[in-house]
Chain A
Amino acid sequence: MTSPLSKTGMAACLIILILCALTPLLQSDYLIDVVTEILIVALFALSLNIIIGYSGNVSFGHAAYFAIGGYVNAILLTSYGWPLLPSAVAGVFAATLTAAIVAYFCTRLTDIYFAMLTLAFSMLVWAILFKWRSLTNGDDGFTPVHVPAMIDDRTAFFYFTMIVIVVSIAVLWVITHSAFGRSLVAVRENVGRAGFVGIHTRRMRWQAFVIAGFFAGVAGVLFGMYHRGMYVESAFWTQSAQVLIMTLLGGIYSFFGPLIGAAVLFMLERLTNEYTEYWPTVLGSILLVILLFQPDGLVGLGKRIKNKFGGGGSP
Chain B
Amino acid sequence: MKRILAGAVALAAMGAGSAALAQDIKIGVLYPTSGGGAIYGGPAMVGHNLAVDEINAAGGINGRMLVTVARDSKLNPAAAASAAKEMVTKDGVDVLMGGLSSAVGLAISEVAKQEGVVYLATIPKTIQMTTSKLHPHVFRTSSNTDFEGDAMAQLIKKIGGKKVCDIQLDYAYGHDLSDGLKAALKRHAPDVEIVLNLRPKLRATDYNVFITQIMGAGCDVVTSGLWGSHFVDFAQQASPFGLFNNIKAYISGGEVASHEIAGKMGEDYPPNVISNTYELWYHAVSPNHKVFQEKIAEKSGTKETAMWPVLSYTGVRFYAEAVMKSGGTKSEGIIKALEGMTIDTPVGPRTINAADHQANTGQFWGPMVNKDGFSYKVMDPVTFIPAVIK
Using a CB–CB cutoff of 8 Å, the interface residues on chain A facing chain B are 11-12, 15-16, 19, 26-31, 33, 37, 130-131, 133, 137-141, 143-144, 223, 227-229, 231-234, 270, 273-274, 277-280
Question: How many angstroms from the CA of A128 to the CA of B1 in the assembled complex?
Answer: 47
Q: What 3 A-B pairs have minimum CB-CB distances, sorted nearest first? A: A28-B15, A30-B89, A29-B89
Q: Which residue of A lies closest to B82 (CB)?
A: A37
Q: Which residues of A contact B133 (CB under 8 A)?
A: 143-144
Majority SS of interface residues in chain B?
Answer: helix
Q: Which residue of B lies closest to A139 (CB)?
A: B171
Give the distance to chain A from B37, nearest Cβ to Cβ, in Å.
10
Q: Which residues of A contact B170 (CB under 8 A)?
A: 131
Give the distance to chain A from B31, nearest Cβ to Cβ, in Å.
10
Question: How many angstroms from the CA of A234 to the CA of B77 in the assembled complex?
Answer: 9
Interface Cβ pair total, 8 Å cutoff? 106
Which candidate, B105-113, B158-166, B237-245, B375-383, is the interface stretch facing chain A?
Answer: B105-113
Known A31-B11, A33-B85, A144-B133; contact A234-B106, beta-carbon cutoff 8 A: no
Q: Which residues of A contact B77 (CB under 8 A)?
A: 141, 229, 231, 233
Q: Which residues of A contact B72 (CB under 8 A)?
A: 273, 277, 279
| Interface pair A138/B15, CB less than 8 Å apart | no
| Interface pair B172/A30, CB less than 8 Å apart | no
Question: How large, as a class, is the contact surface on chain B?
Answer: 35 or more
What are 12 A-B pairs with beta-carbon distances under 8 A? A12-B4, A130-B171, A131-B170, A138-B175, A143-B133, A227-B110, A229-B78, A232-B103, A233-B103, A270-B86, A273-B83, A278-B34
Q: Which residues of A contact B78 (CB under 8 A)?
A: 223, 227, 229, 231, 233-234
B8 in contact (CB, < 8 A):
yes
Using a CB–CB cutoff of 8 Å, the interface residues on chain B facing chain A are 1, 4, 8, 11-12, 14-16, 18-19, 33-35, 38, 71-72, 76-78, 81-83, 85-86, 88-90, 101-103, 106-107, 109-110, 113-114, 126, 128, 133, 170-172, 175, 202
Question: How many angstroms from the CA of A231 to the CA of B105 in the assembled complex?
Answer: 12
Known A140-B128, A233-B78; contact A30-B103, beta-carbon cutoff 8 A: no
Q: Which residue of B lies closest to A152 (CB)?
A: B114
* Extra A-B contacts (15), CB below 8 Å, given A144-B113, A270-B82, A278-B34: A26-B15, A28-B16, A30-B86, A37-B82, A139-B102, A140-B106, A140-B172, A144-B110, A227-B78, A227-B110, A228-B110, A231-B78, A233-B78, A280-B34, A280-B35
